[in-house]
Structure formats: structure tokens, C-alpha cells
Amino acid sequence: MSGRFLLAQISDTHIRADDHGEAAAKLKKAMAQAAQYRADAILLTGDLVNDERTEEYEALARALLDPPAPVYLMPGNHDERTRLRFFFPSHSYLPHSGHLSYAIEEFPVRVVVVDQIVPGETHGLLTAAGAEWLDCTLAAAPNKPTIVALHHPPFLTHDLLFDNIGLRDADLLAGVIAKHRQVIRIICGHHHRVAFGQIAHAPVVIAPSTSWVYGIAMYPEQPIAPRTDEQTGWMLHAWTGAGGCASHFIGL
């Protein structure tokens, strides 16, 4: 690996067992594109499957065979922690119990993954214990540039649905991030479209879905979460020590 670090962020793949392999094919295409860009790592930021079904996780595992770079998984509100552990036993970075939060240490940029899903709910929640874990984890490497990843957007998008089912207690996250200037990006998914915000000093990037794109409802008379014909895709985050971090939308 050169002095440049390339992180492919693929989100909201929503692998299904009843779509004739369409979602899995889009995931494979995104992985092939990540290979063309010589991504150093691939992070899937939640909603890996659609209905938490066994056959969906089996299809996901098949789609992730022979990846072009190390693959890291995290849950979204459509995922189930126990099944993630069961179907990906070789992913030794996943904690054996509790929340699936962890840190990826082996690259020039540290990636800290925060599991803030609430089983049975659509919204996310950063608990006091989760905030303490994040604070301690970030404090362990104060001089290494760091990307924090979670599933739910931690800022207001001004969408009537997704702000209601986003990250609750986002101010708790902001308080932790403000203490750690080495955080250069916060990345997330959930919204199924690209959007940008900021928490404390850190820019926040919402990745699109590889499966479908949602439109925005800013007013009561607008349809909630309409599926649009906008291009699906994923994000490529590129970092160098001299140039910092740039984030690119890659269309499928």
C-alpha cells in the first residue's frame, strides 16, 4: 500500500432472497469497481440484508466470496447481530458478544465502527455506554487520523421520515467527537442517498444505497420516501497525509 489510503464504503445493500439475485449482483458490481480503484479496504455500513432471513445472509456470504480487499461488516436496522456473527465466523474483528463496535487498526487511517442499532426499531441510538466506548477508543490513538463509521445519520437531513428514524441522542455523539480532533470524517448510510453534514469539526458523509435511491420529503404534501430513478452507487474515501480526505460518489 502506498501513502494513499482508499476506503470503499458500500451501504444499504438490502440483499433479498426473492429478487432473483438483483441486489447481490449490484453488490458484486460495486466490489468489482472497488477493485478497479484498488481500494485498500471495503466497509459495508449496514442494512446488509432486507428482512434478517437466513437465506438472505447466505446470499450475502456468497456475494462476498473472494473480495478484492479486506471486507468489514457492521449492522444496520435491517440486520441481526447474532446472525451476522454466525454467518461470518472468519470475521474475527467482530466482538463475540454485545454490540458490534470495533476499531480497524492496520491502515494509515484508523476506522472506528460504532454499532448503534436498536433491535426491533428503525431509529438508531447512541447510549451512554456506547458514547463511553467511543470516547475511550478514540482516546487510545489521539494522533492517528480516524474515520468514525455508523449506520444512522447523526445530523438533520430535513427529510420528514429520515430525521424521525435517524440517530437519537446525536448531541451525545457530537460531544465525544468534539474532544477528538483526529476524527477527519464520519461516514454512515441509512438514507439511501448522498448527503453531507457536520458534527463538531468533522464532516459527515451519507453513502447512497447500492439497491435503490429514496427521494426527499421536506413538506407534508410530498410523498414520504419515494423510490426514484436516481443512480445507485457507493462512496470512495481517499486519504493522504499531505492532502487529507476526499470522498467520491461512484455510480453503479
Beta-sheet strands, E only, within 190-243: 195-199, 202-206, 213-214, 227-228, 233-240
Position 165 scores a pLDDT of 97
Share of residues in the chain with pLDDT > 90 (%): 98
Position 2 scores a pLDDT of 62
* Planar angle of CA 55, 31, 144, nearest 5 degrees: 110
What domain range is 165 assigned to?
Answer: 4-251
Cell of 227: 423510490
* Closest alpha carbon to 102 in 79, 132, 76, 72: 72
Position 3 scores a pLDDT of 86
Q: How far apart are CA 134 and CA 125, in angstroms?
A: 13
Position 209 scores a pLDDT of 98
Position 117 scores a pLDDT of 97
- Find cell 436496522 and name the residue: 77
Position 122 scores a pLDDT of 97
- Give the single-character DSSP code of 107: S
Instruction: Report the number of distinct structural domains present in the chain.
Output: 1
Cell of 158: 430535513
CB 9 within 8 A of CB 208: no
List per-block mean pLDDT (blocks of 10 residues) for the chain, which spans 252 residues.
Answer: 88 95 97 98 98 95 96 97 96 96 98 97 96 98 98 97 95 98 98 98 98 97 96 98 97 98
Q: What is the CATH number of the domain that holds 83?
A: 3.60.21.10
